[in-house]
Structures are given as structure tokens and as C-alpha cells.
Chain A
């Protein structure tokens, strides 16, 4: 009887363990099937043998599959997660002419951000390639993250944007706009809230600057860049940090205090410093009532906008409930070039530009938290001509077109 009791206990335990051990679950992997098409404007462009990329927004792994003759790319045995899906196709100048009327090479893009795939699900998605003829002026570099937060001497006061003439003709900067796009949150924190406004025909600016000039006052030669510094100061002289920059050679700077005072508002003398030797950008819109200036957000999406239109229509930020924050609407068809810079690889829901302008987005670090790292986002060089002039990559997809630099490199592509 005693032995039976012991045997019963051991038998019961071993049975439970064996049953448990047999229950190992099979992999619950998923499938994404992407059908590639084109927009009506590019109807007829072949969609076979085009690389389609899926990026797992959680672990940042990328997988590439070529489309079959029917334009279908099938991704098998992938982990259930959230993915950004993208595809690009380069059109030669001859081919592009048939669709755009411009005899310039063009890359058409398609993207689908934030596609959630459940375990064992076959997710069928359609991607439509689209694009517009590349602009002659492009955003070459955006440095918004600031250098080391060393004694608050610099912080982010050394920010700059560089515009580059990517064509073979002189371009004029006069009266063009630079818009800082909203929302200010870019997916760094778990509590960041996405835009919640349609991102189709307009984008939303929190700050707008305009180049000075009368139309021909500020020419930009082919292969040359123009730096717009927040403060045109040599910060390397102020604080000998390896990662900061000398902005004293900037072509333009920003200064909002006088403009704000004329409107009965106040500026920020600590952050906003005017260099009288450098032309100052015109202040157009600043959605902060007081103590504002034209600094960029840490993760700054920027648009270069045509001259001509006057922006007047604002819309309230629906994500901010405690105060009233307004954005200025900018029509997408007025944008010459744009780059979507977000916090990290999983920040796709925070995009501020539609895919026709930037079908991807870029970031300084995959996992975010790049403040004060001295990192900037710089457009890559597509080719260097025999003359030495650099032609920058402009596929309207900043995921491919931009690279991370530290320290920042103002004027680095200028034709010597």
C-alpha cells in the first residue's frame, strides 16, 4: 500500500510532465503577399523583377523579395509583427519622359507603413508606385539633434539646414519657403500621439521661414549648397567639441525676436542670436505665442516650398488637448523637396509627408534617443561628374537617399 502510494505520486507527476513536454507549439509564422501596381500617371511601367522590402519595425530586420512577372512579391516564414513595406523603381530619362514630360531620370516609389501581421495570417497588400520629377533644388542635410549637452553652452543652438542645387543650371533661392512640419512628436516616446489629420493634399507646418531677396538676389550655382543656420555662429570656437559645427559661414540665419516684438510677442534671447553679417530669413509663421524661435524639433521633417503662395489657413492640432496649437496648411503640390525625419525605425505612423514627396522616412538611430549626439541626416551622392560636381540621390525616398553623419558636414558637397 505504501509503495502503491509512492508509485501513484511519481506516476502522476511523470504523466503531467510528459503531457506538458509533448505540447511544444509549432511556429506561428506569417506571410505577406505584396501586389505591386503603378499609379495612373505611370500606367504601363513594368512591375516585374522589382525589389520589395519589408522592414520589421520592432527588430529592424529587412527582407527583400523580387516581384514575379505578375508583380507579386511573397514573403514567407516571417514573424508576426508590424512592418513597413516599400518598393522603388528607377526610370531612365528616356522612359521617364514618356510619363512626366521631363527628360530626367526618375525614381518612382511606393510604401505602406505600419502593416500589422497576425500569427499564421497571410496578409495581402497592394503597393502603388508613384512619383514626381525630381526637383532641381534638394534638401542636402538636416542637422537638428544638437551637439553634446555640455554645460548648456550649445545644446541645439547649432542646428542648420542645407539646400543644394542638384541641377546643371543656376537656381534662385529668393522667396522660397522652408517649412518645419508637424506634429512635433515623432514616435520617440510610447505616449507620443500621431497626427490624426489627413496627409494627402496638404502637410502641416508649425514654423515657416522664407528666403529673402527680390527674385534674383540669391543665386545658387550648380553643385553648391546654401546653409540656413539657426544661429550663424562658430560654435567650435565657443565650445571645443568635436561634434559641433562652425555656422559662421552660413549663407542665411534665423532671428525671430524683432518680428515677434512687432506682433506684440516675445522671443528667446538665450537661444536666438542674430549675426548682422549674415542675411536673415524672413519669419512667416511660428505657432508658439511667446519665447519661440526657429529651432527645429529633435526629429525634424522639413519641406522646401515654392515661392508665390501666401499661406493663411491654419488648423488646430487635435493631439494637444491642454492648449490650442495651430498648424499652417501647405499644399503638397507646392513642395519642391521634403524629407521625413522621425525618431526611430518604428516611427512610421508619425510620418509628416505623403509618399509622393517622401515615400520613406529616415532617422539618426534605429532605436531613437539620438538627442545631442551630433548626428545629422545627409543626402547621399548618386554620382560625381568629371567636373567634380556631385549629383545627389533623389529617389523621393529618404529611407534610401539619406545617411547619418557625425559630426555634421555643412558645405561638404560644394564644387571646389
Chain B
């Protein structure tokens, strides 16, 4: 416990130390678009390979921001958030010490909010790694949430050609279910990413790195007594597949440990840069009993999900006479297998298989001197397959979403400047297959899988707008005020329209208001 607290203090000091870096370049870039580009560049490329900060060319920056996020609507995944309000405070910076060969990144973020989740979910979220394991009850819930996020990276030139770096992330997430005040979830997510970058002649750079990520989830759940004529909505289940579940779960904790490596290649030419970053990791998510009965010889590990994740990121930047062409391609694949311990047979029974493939191609062009400041197009492909072969229950779908967006600027007035933007996207389902087989009659299929499939395979359009204003304030610092929002509207329900939890008249909106101080 003392070690944990010490770790948090060290990370906090590093984060804030970087945040208060003076003499940054943030305030000298053209406008919000360029500042956003600075931050995106770190997270898209350099945050993935910390030692690559040796060739960071975007200048130092520092910011403190606060924002309010709100979302609401009936057009949503039936197990996820029906509404959410979130307040965020964040600080982030890059600081260079060229004379000593160091470069640092640091960010600290804190969020506090509330949300209403859908039915059959006691975990506030659905696992992103494809795991089938989560607690669930039928009753919808109101939650309060808090998160704190420390993210630091440091890079040091070891020799003229060799650079070392390490990234540390520490994310704490606490959610409390308030409707019946019977559940809280604490999640700690620690990631360590050391890497080395070799300069291969000033134009090419090769990096290698290692990844260790440990996520610990500690739910504390009390089964609510059902009173009188209350419907049976509070019974606790532990989901283990597409129809496979434990209907007498006891208190468990989850530990998800991931180990991996990365390799990256960077190529610089006179006016362009190219990065290819490939990461692969192996993860093992285990659900462990918090206490073991002395009378029963129970296994501690009740369920296990193992998975491989492949990530490929390609980045291309090219400066032209009038601006910059930016291309990002991200491909991610997860392949996982789940197994459940069967007490009656005293063995682990494999039952679940997960496969996902996501690809995002994002191309944008930023003009240096034009009222049309930025135009962008994005194509996203999403394919997921879940297979519970104990039930022969398969759910698979593929979606494609295309987005176009543009920003125009009022000019380059340092005193006050306005940016207006808009986006439009269309998501279409290109394939879908749902076969419940032996699970056809159980409630997971009728109450969860079918409405979820109706949502996931529906077509929608999204339209959004944003307006930003930036001001020069005393000391040459810049203040950004931004309001953006988007609205999702379903266009067609391609599967199970009679069982979907939404209609074509429903929608879902996201709204974000932020104030950012750049210094």
C-alpha cells in the first residue's frame, strides 16, 4: 500500500513538473487547430514509443483545461450508458531539456460525473478486450463515477544515436451504483512501456519496446433483498459467454495482465515523415474468488479469458506549399478465448471465442493560410465475432462508417479568433449473422443478445458542429473556449426491429464544453 502511494506521488510530481514547463511553444502556434495537432501527434505516435520523443519536432506545450461532457438518448447499446454527465480537469505538457538530452511528457486528469446505465450490467462498462465476463442484474442503475489518470513519459539520449524512453500510465477508476447503493467498482490500470530508438543515419529510426499492463478490477457487490411485490430485477448473475452464466456468483476480483512488445520504424525526408508502429501483446484476464470456503474445495480462479492483441499504426505527414497532409491508419485485431471452471466436473471448460478487427483510415489536410483551415475524411471498419460454442451461439457483424468534417477560421487575429466546424458521418451495417441455437430460449439471448444485435447492426447518421474562440490574454498566453456537439439518429433497424430497445424516432447526443488555458 505504501509503495502504491509512493508511486502515485512520484508520478504526480513528474506530471505536474512537466505541466509547469515554462517558455513553451504552445502560444506561438497559429491557432486551436495547430495546438490540437500538437497534442494528437503525441498521442498518436510518440506516446506509443516514448524513446521516439528524441525526434519530437512539434515544440513544447503546456495546458490546463476543464470541460463538461454530457450525453443522453435512447439510441444506445441496451447495456451501456443512457445518459452521462462528466466534469473533467486536465493538465498536459511536453517539456524539452536539450542541453541535458531529456524530454518529458506529463498529464494529469481527473473526472467526476454521473451516469445511468442500461439493463443487465453491473460493471458500468462492457469489456473492451472482448472478455465475456461481467456482473449483471436486470435493474437499470444510476452511477457516480470518478477517475484519475496519470500519464508520464521521459526520454533521454544515451549516445548520439541511441535514445531510451519509458512511459508510465496509472489510471484509477471508481464507480458507485447509487440507485440501490449496492455496488461499487474500483479499477486500477497500470502500464509500463520502456523503449529504445536507434538513429540509422538521421533519416531512419528503428525502435523496439516492451509493454506491461496490469488491470485490477475490484467489484463490491451486495445482493439486494427483494421486497414484497417487487419484480425480480435484482438477482445477481456473472456472465460468462453468450448464454453461459453463473447465477450464484460470489465476490470476485479481476486481474488482467498483458505482456507485449513493439517495433517501430520512422522515415524522414525533406518534407515528409512516415511511421510504422506494430505492437503485439498477450493478455490473461482472471476472475478470482475473494474468499474460499473451508468446507468446499473450490478453485480460486473461476473464469479465465486469454487474448492476443495486434496493433498496427501507420502515420504519414507531408508538408506542401499550402499546408500539411496528414494520414493515419490504425488496424487492431483481438483474438480471445474464454474458459469457465465447472465445479461439478472439476475442470475448466472452454466455451467462448472472440475475434475483432478494427481499421480506421483518417486523412486530413490543413491549410496554412486559408479561411478553410482543415478538411478531413475518415473511414472506419468494425468487425466483431462472438462465439459461445457450448450453446452454438454466434453473433457477428461488420460495420463501415464514413465521416467528413471541415473547419473554417475567422483569420489570424491574435486578440480574438473564431473557428467553426462541422461533421457528417454515415454508418452502415455491411453484414450480420446471429444464430442462438441452443441458447434460443434462455434470457441472455432474448433480453441481451437480440436487442444488442439490433443496435449494433442498425444504420445511423451523425451530424455535428463546433464553435471555438481563442483569446490572447496577459503574458501572451492563449485561452481557448470550445463548444461541440453531435447527434446520432438511426436510419434503419436491420435486425430484430420488434425486439430493439429503440425506434427510428430516437436519437443520442453528445455535448462537450471546454475551457483551455495554454501557457
Contacts and interface: CB of A to CB of B under 8 A. Distances in A.
Contacts of A310: none
B388 to A, nearest CB: 9
A241 B250 CA distance: 32
Interface in A214-247: 241-243
A188 B236 CA distance: 12
A291 to B, nearest CB: 23
Interface in A34-80: 56, 58-61, 77-80
**Prevailing SS type, chain A contact patch:** loop
Given A77-B438, A369-B225, A17 B295 contact: no
A59 B250 CA distance: 18
Contacts of B244: 58, 79
Interface residues of A, number: 57
Contacts of B355: 20-21, 24
Contact of B312 (A13, A190, A191): A13
A406 B390 CA distance: 37
27 contacts: A5-B265, A6-B276, A9-B276, A13-B278, A13-B333, A16-B310, A20-B308, A23-B353, A24-B385, A24-B387, A25-B387, A27-B390, A27-B437, A29-B392, A60-B442, A61-B442, A79-B243, A79-B392, A79-B439, A116-B345, A119-B349, A243-B228, A243-B229, A346-B247, A367-B235, A369-B225, A374-B228
B390 A119 contact: yes
Given A27-B389, A27-B392, A190-B248, A149 B225 contact: yes
A43 to B, nearest CB: 33
Given A17-B310, A241-B228, A374-B229, A80 B349 contact: yes
A407 B247 CA distance: 26
Interface of B: 223, 225-230, 232, 234-235, 243-250, 265, 267, 276, 278, 293, 295-296, 308, 310, 312, 314, 331, 333, 335, 342, 344-345, 349, 353, 355, 357, 385, 387, 389-392, 394, 437-439, 441-444
A384 interface: no
B200 to A, nearest CB: 11
A118 interface: yes
Contacts of A2: 267
Nearest to B228: A148
Contacts of A16: 310, 333
A79 B391 contact: yes
A242 B437 contact: no
Contacts of A287: none
Interface of A: 2, 5-6, 9-10, 13, 16-17, 20-21, 23-29, 56, 58-61, 77-82, 114, 116, 118-119, 147-149, 188-191, 193, 241-243, 319, 321, 344, 346, 365, 367-374, 406
B331 A13 contact: yes
Contacts of A25: 353, 387, 389
B243 A59 contact: yes
Contacts of A118: 345, 349
A350 B349 CA distance: 24
A119 B347 CA distance: 12
B385 A10 contact: no
B334 to A, nearest CB: 9
Contacts of A80: 349, 390
A24 B226 contact: no
Contact of B310 (A13, A148, A191, A344): A13
A381 B223 CA distance: 35
Contact of A148 (B227, B247, B439): B227
Contacts of B349: 80, 118-119
